[in-house]
Amino acid sequence: MTSAEPYPQLPPGLRERKKARTRIAIQRQAIRLFLDQGYEGTTVEQIAAAAEVSPSTFFRYFPTKEDVVIRDDYDRLMLDAFRAQPRDLTPVQAARAAIHQLAAVLGELSPDDLALEQERAILQFSVPEIRARFIDEVLRAFRLFAEAVAERVESLPEALPVRTFTGALLGALMGAYLPVADEGQEGAREIVALALSDQRMQQIDQALALLEAGLPL
């Protein structure tokens, strides 16, 4: 869940399109270098040179070297879709609809962009520094989702029911993916492939149904 404009489409406006292209170029070059010469053996200066930008430009787009792998725009897309759902839907129903909309966006990825997502997944689960940084990204996503849930139920993000629900929602999603994430590089590739599959969406729907039913065991 967790980094710029998604690959299927660019945002409107010349300036925003240029920024999105620069960000994607930096990310593509970084991932290529990480896979070719290793994460530790690749410097920000090398990434910047390959993307034809300055190191200071790199840090304007990505606060750390780990972020160039972790950051995408899918959390924002998910949040926008969640906020756009009809107000008569429960938070779980709104989340389910938003997840299906995000899956539709992922389904529009080109073969090259799908390959890039698989490479990102491999690095996220195989490089200790990136995997550790991913925890911070999960916490960031938690705060953003808590704000969106609070808006829907007219509460506060720090309210215990809101925080408890948000944690349960993210936990349900993680429960659908973590078994695959522990299977190394092949598991990382499978995560991206399964994100687009009917089987994975059915598992997510089942997890959300359990959440809506009060998590019976």
How confident is the prediction along the chain (217 residues), in pLDDT tens digits per residue? 444 333 344 445 777 778 888 999 999 999 999 999 999 999 999 999 999 999 999 999 999 999 999 988 888 899 999 999 999 999 999 999 999 998 888 888 888 888 888 888 888 888 999 988 988 888 999 999 999 999 999 999 999 999 999 999 998 888 776 655 555 555 555 555 545 567 778 888 888 998 888 888 7
Cβ(180)–Cβ(194) under 8 Å?
yes
Which backbone phi and psi does 214 adopt, to 5 degrees?
90, 20
CA distance 199 to 201: 5
CA distance 36 to 17: 28
CATH assignment, 14-64: 1.10.10.60
153: Cβ contacts below 8 Å, ≥ 6 apart: 91, 162
- Give the CATH class of 69-212: mainly alpha
* pTM exceeds cut of 0.85: no
- Per-domain boundaries in the chain: 14-64, 69-212
**DSSP code string of 135-196:** HHHHHHHHHHHHHHHHHHHTS-TTSHHHHHHHHHHHHHHHHHHHHHHTTHHHHHHHHHHHHT
Among residues 134, 143, 4, the alpha carbon closest in space to that of 60 is found at 4
Residue type (1 letter), 18: K
* CA terminus-to-terminus distance, the chain: 26
Cβ(110)–Cβ(7) under 8 Å?
yes
